[in-house]
Amino acid sequence: MSINYTDRIPNNVDLGSNRTLQRALEHWQPEFLKWWEDLGPKDFQVADVYLRTATSVDAKGWATYGYVRMPEYRWGIFLNQRDPNRRIGFGDNYGQEVWQQIPGEYRAILRRLIVTQGDTEPASVEQQRMLGHTAPSPYDLRNLFQVNVEEGRHLWAMVYLLHAYFGRDGREEAEELLERHSGDADKPRILGTFNEPIRDWLSFFMFTYFTDRDGKFQLKSLAESSFDPLARTCQFMLTEEAHHMFVGDTGISRVVKRTLEVMKELNSDDPQAIRNAGAIDLPTVQKYLNFWFTSSLDLFGSETSSNAASYFANGLKGRPDEAQYEDHVVLDQTYVLELPDGSGNTKTEEIPLRNAMNEVTRGSYVRDCDRGVNRWNRLIEKAGYSFRLTLPSTRFRRNIGNWAGVPTTPEGVPISAEQLAAHLNQWLPNESDRAFILSLMNGVHQQGKMAAWIAPPDRGINNNPVDYEYVKLH
């Protein structure tokens, strides 16, 4: 299915035949471009960046590469092809026809879900806007911008749904998506993680590994939705999302690889000696991992959620890869949670499985996160060191859900508030860790060069060499 590039807004939804919708989106477009200019990547707007752009949604055409100036990127509206036989895959309406329009009773909650999803996309661009200056290489600079333009497109995807299916309310929500800003004291972004500053590239890699992976799981849940246009939109977004997680995964691998080289050269695993040699010691990598993993765990919502139960019952939001389960209605099953008992111990509670859907999805997410950690650990093991990176417990440093504000060790053992305060310096990046990481962030923009704290990638983009001219600065 090809994309119509002759329209002002590239699309495969036949926008030209719906003049009202087209006009509404054309009205929003300059506001989006103004937002991109004000809060998108700072200072690289006239650079020619080697970017991929979707030209069709089938397997071959969705990634066409070429030099583009970011403000001229063809942000558009692309949905996966419609499957006329698609049926509702879970919940009370299991097996019925999927919806092409929204049933009136679900308008408000579906709008809320789409707005929450949409809000994260521009938020991440805002969080990352200063990183171009400190990119460790032109290859990384290009990857940052690729992620940024695609998050911009994911915003377009949600705004299309708001405009096309929610009338005036949807148009107002679309405007507000450009009015809330990451970290803004008065109008912050909706979800916690998207208000955290990203000032350095170690955080950027952790964010693209852990937080974009929440995106993967949330999009997979929405890709199951009975509201077919939402499902098809998210299915296509997932193809783009894979590269974002690749950036995080390989970014952290390269940091670890470089650190191991330095450890070998020095014949030492002393963190201070490694820092003096300009690399990032593994305990510091662990602290950044602790921070971003735990923040991303909160993005799945509470362990017990009546919201999640009704999303599932109504068919609005399923479980990622719903087809893997045998029972798609889930009326009688239960789930056992381990919760804090309020006096420093834990208790178990059995709840209906529908109310535990956030926890089910969080569990799948944690297992997926673990794969990368195992890969990084294999590098460390092969180099002959005993240090291992680990995912902290899902109880650690939570701000949402039953474990919110409950002090625990990274292993999840409840401790006193005093004990937590005494150890936080060891478990999370402290001021001097952050200052050290920032001290390494000197941008490397010359073709063929790479910062000393990170190893080069194994290969370049689209079969080009690593030292290809990925960004032409003017």
Cα–Cα distance, 46 to 99 (Å, whole number): 43
Q: Considering the complex, state which of residue 118 and residue 407 has its C-beta at the smaller distance from ligand BYC.
A: 118
The answer to whether 82 and 2 are in contact (CB under 8 A) is no
Q: Is 60 helix (H, G, I), strand (E, B) or coil?
A: coil
The answer to whether 152 and 240 are in contact (CB under 8 A) is no
For residue 350, the cross-strand partners are 336
Cα–Cα distance, 254 to 439 (Å, whole number): 18
Binding status of residue 126 toward ligand BYC by CB under 6 A = no
Q: Which of 70, 88, 121, 441 binds ligand BYC (CB under 6 A)?
A: 121
Q: Considering the complex, state which of residue 282 and residue 299 has its C-beta at the smaller distance from ligand BYC.
A: 299
Binding status of residue 218 toward ligand BYC by CB under 6 A = yes
Q: Which of 12, 55, 93, 117 binds ligand BYC (CB under 6 A)?
A: 117
Q: What angle do CA 81, 82, 83 make, to 5 degrees?
A: 120
CA dihedral angle for residue 133, residue 136, residue 142, residue 144, rounded to 10 degrees: -70
Judged by CB under 6 A, the chain residues 372 through 431 that form the site for ligand BYC are: 400
Binding status of residue 158 toward ligand BYC by CB under 6 A = no
Binding status of residue 113 toward ligand BYC by CB under 6 A = yes
The answer to whether 69 and 473 are in contact (CB under 8 A) is no
Cα–Cα distance, 319 to 325 (Å, whole number): 9
Q: Is 77 helix (H, G, I), strand (E, B) or coil?
A: strand
Mark the segment that binds ligand BYC (CB under 6 A) among 112-120, 158-166, 250-258, 421-429: 112-120
Binding status of residue 215 toward ligand BYC by CB under 6 A = yes
Q: Nearest-CA neighbor of 277 among 431, 452, 429, 135?
A: 452
Q: Which of 271, 283, 301, 412 binds ligand BYC (CB under 6 A)?
A: 301
Strands, E, within 310-455: which ranges? Answer: 334-340, 346-352
CB of 191 to ligand BYC, least distance (A): 4
Site track 347-366 with ligand BYC (rule: CB under 6 A), x = hit? -----------x--------
Cα–Cα distance, 42 to 131 (Å, whole number): 8
What are the Cα distances from residue 436, in Å, to 6, 266, 429, 442? Answer: 49, 19, 10, 12
Q: Which of 11, 53, 93, 120 binds ligand BYC (CB under 6 A)?
A: 120
Mark the segment that binds ligand BYC (CB under 6 A) among 9-17, 33-41, 88-96, 213-221: 213-221
Binding status of residue 302 toward ligand BYC by CB under 6 A = yes
| Count of residues that bind ligand BYC according to CB under 6 A | 25
Binding status of residue 298 toward ligand BYC by CB under 6 A = yes
CB of 193 to ligand BYC, least distance (A): 6
CB of 120 to ligand BYC, least distance (A): 4
Q: Which of 192, 283, 443, 448 binds ligand BYC (CB under 6 A)?
A: 192
Chain Cα centroid distance, residue 236: 15
Q: Is 120 helix (H, G, I), strand (E, B) or coil?
A: helix
Nearest residue to the partner ligand BYC, using Cβ:
301
The answer to whether 280 and 255 are in contact (CB under 8 A) is yes
Q: Which of 140, 196, 212, 240 binds ligand BYC (CB under 6 A)?
A: 212
Interacting residue ranges for ligand BYC, rule: CB under 6 A: 113, 116-117, 120-121, 124, 151, 191-192, 211-212, 214-215, 218, 298-302, 305, 307-308, 317, 358, 400
